[in-house]
Amino acid sequence: IQCRVYRARVYPSCIGVCSMALLHSPLRAFPALKRVAGWRNHRLQPKRCLNRDVTDALCTVAGADNISTSTAVREQHGKDESYHGCKPPDIVVWPQNVEQVSRLAAICWANDLPIIPFGTSTGLEGGVAALRGGVCFDLTKMDKTVELNTVDFDVTVEPGVTRKSLNNYLKGSGLWFPVDPGADASLCGMAATGASGTNAVRYGTMRENVINLEVVLADGRIMYTAGAQRRSRKTSAGYNLTNLFVGSEGTLGIITKTTLRLHGIPESMVSAVCTFPTVQAAVDCTVQVLQYGIPIARIEFLDDVMMDACNKFSNLNYAVSSTLFLEFHGTEKSLAEQIQVTGEIMKANRGSDYIWAIDQEARDKLWQARHNAWYAARALRPGCKAYSTDVCVPLSKLPEIIVATKDDLIQSKLTGPIVGHVGDGNFHCLMTMDPRDKDEERRVKEFTDRLARRALAMDGTCTGEHGIGLGKRHLLTEEIGAVGMEMMRGIKAALDPKNIMNPGKVV
């Protein structure tokens, strides 16, 4: 007997028990399949291997110089910055344009081969791991800035364009793209993961800054989420397909162009550092600054452990205490008012005097230290693995959850410096663990699950910006609920009925 819906073989020893049940209702025979009704579960599908004909077909489209099956190249493409192990694809291709992406996807579709989109591999949730092998689409050679409209404040870029390269391109235009996750990530990859960063409190996340996407679907068809060439500042036309693909993590299609909202460069920018005697005081101050309506551009929290790590890694000499990094944008007059009011709030919460970073070089050094927090945390324990949590809660719950998390870290005897975009209610514990110490690994896993569930209990989310990837799928179910998960799986089934788009991720 063959269960055709799921392509699963039923072995002879099972026939006597379940053959009639399968004939009448395969879902009743195997209750676990109810959770995957309407789509193909990657665990039940046999892995399709590459053969010479398929390899030749891929080579014909991409060219011999843009295809590789070498072990080193495949392993390079099977891992990101996360703690998840390397899962290399069977082959890597470098398409040059959307037409090639479409033709390559059609070949994979016809041969049931998994497709794994690849950008700069700066993700933190194992999103590029090829769990079933397949074909990795490295999009870094598609690196054109297609169209810049300075009057309309928008730009269209291909997936090989990174955040820093775009802002370099925009120099002299008076515009910039402010979404800043720290790493020099690809902009289409940032859209795929729903990224944000230090500037999100003022300028929003990728969801607020993506206007349109060009997407190649699993079968090779090309679509535009807001319509071809559309780039209006707002629309109320039909379903919001753009935000369906923002945060889809390569599971619904391959993003081959994105049209982004740009912003004017502020007249003046000033950064500052302020320290506090306790975690509670620093976080209370953050909430009060935002409640007062101050249009602060960045407000980042670092606990004492994180400050010590940053001092050592980035050659700084700030106090080892709970600290806020702040940045103000605006005219000189508006900055003076923002700084004065924020300073009064700081003092009311027992904050220190500002340590200023006014010129470009000083500000760059300060924020580079903040962006290097991941590497600074890893340097605390050389040779150890690292994992970043990513919970986000309503602002009113922020002081409570950070204090509780700090206590949990101490009681669990774990190293986990805390750093966060607290203006959004989003923070990270940068957990370090010895891969040879199974007990520590277990305690880290238990801690991260407790933290995520603590955030869910406070009406928050298990991930503010990193995505679900491999490690948070069970938490997504708890967060969204059974009906929500059923809808997500239905969307996945409609767009990717063969489950070849980055299988094993998100849902």
Q: What is the pLDDT along the chain (507 residues), one digit of tens a residue?
A: 333 333 333 333 333 333 333 333 434 433 443 444 444 444 445 456 689 999 999 999 999 999 999 999 999 999 999 888 999 999 999 999 999 999 999 999 999 999 999 999 999 999 999 999 999 999 999 999 999 999 999 999 999 999 999 999 999 999 999 999 988 999 999 999 999 999 999 999 999 999 999 999 999 999 999 999 999 999 999 999 999 999 999 999 999 999 999 999 999 999 999 999 999 999 999 999 999 999 999 999 999 999 999 999 999 899 999 999 999 999 999 999 999 999 999 999 999 998 988 888 989 889 988 989 999 999 999 999 999 999 999 998 999 999 999 999 999 999 999 999 999 999 999 999 998 999 999 999 999 999 999 999 999 999 999 999 998 999 999 999 999 999 999 999 999 999 999 999 999
Q: What is the DSSP letter of 66?
A: G
Burial (CB < 10 A; 0-12, 13-18, 19+), residue 259, is buried
Query: Count of CB atoms within 10 A of residue 160's CB?
Result: 20
387 to 158, 298, 384, 415, 507: CA distances (angstroms): 30, 24, 10, 11, 21
Q: How far is CA 284 from CA 222, 290, 402, in A?
A: 48, 10, 11
Strands (E), 40-159: 67-68, 91-93, 115-118, 135-138, 145-149, 154-157
Beta strands in 254-401 (DSSP E): 254-261, 263-264, 268-276, 298-302, 322-330, 355-357, 385-388
Q: What is the pTM for the complete model shown?
A: 0.88
pLDDT of 4: 33
DSSP category for residue 46: P
Name residue, tokens 């002879």. Answer: 12
12-43 residues labelled b (16+ CB within 10 A) or e (exposed): eeeeeebeeebeeebbebbeebeebeebbbbe
Please count the other Cβ atoms lying within 10 Å of the Cβ belonging to residue 64: 8
Cβ density class 89-98: b for 16+ within 10 Å, e for less: bbbbbbbeeb
CA gap 74, 465 in Å, rounded: 27
Q: How far is CA 372 from CA 89, 367, 379, in A?
A: 29, 8, 11
Give me the amino acid identity at 404.
A
Half-sphere exposure of 138 (CA within 13 A, CB side): 21
Query: To the nearest 10°, the Cα dihedral for 399, 400, 405, 411?
Result: 120
